[in-house]
Amino acid sequence: MNTQTKQLYRTRDGRMIGGVCAGLGKFFGIDPTLVRLLFVFSALLGWGGPVLLTYLVMMIVVPEEPAENVEALSTPPVQTETD
């Protein structure tokens, strides 16, 4: 029996600030822009404090997406000299 669960991560690509909205968008299968707009409209409706607190807590608690190749991210590409 194959039981595969979805994991919520902050994304490494497509992030604006901390990757929270992009991670939520990927998790729920929706465009991250819609999640960002939901955060902004919620703040404009007077829920700015709870929205900001939720974002900050998620930025701390939700783990960052694991790198496919950590070495490729940490080392710059090697340029070869061409004649």
Number of compact structural domains in the chain? 1
Residue 37 pLDDT exceeds 70? yes
- Determine, yes or no, domain membership for 1: no
* Domain extent at residue 36: 9-62
Model confidence pTM above 0.75: no
Tens of pLDDT, residues 43-75: 899 888 888 899 999 999 999 988 875 455 555
- Tell me what pLDDT residue 69 has: 53
**DSSP character string of 3-27:** -------B-SSS-SSSSHHHHHHHH
- Determine, yes or no, domain membership for 24: yes
CA distance 21 to 39: 9
Q: Are 81 and 27 contacting, i.e. CB atoms less than 8 angstroms apart?
A: no
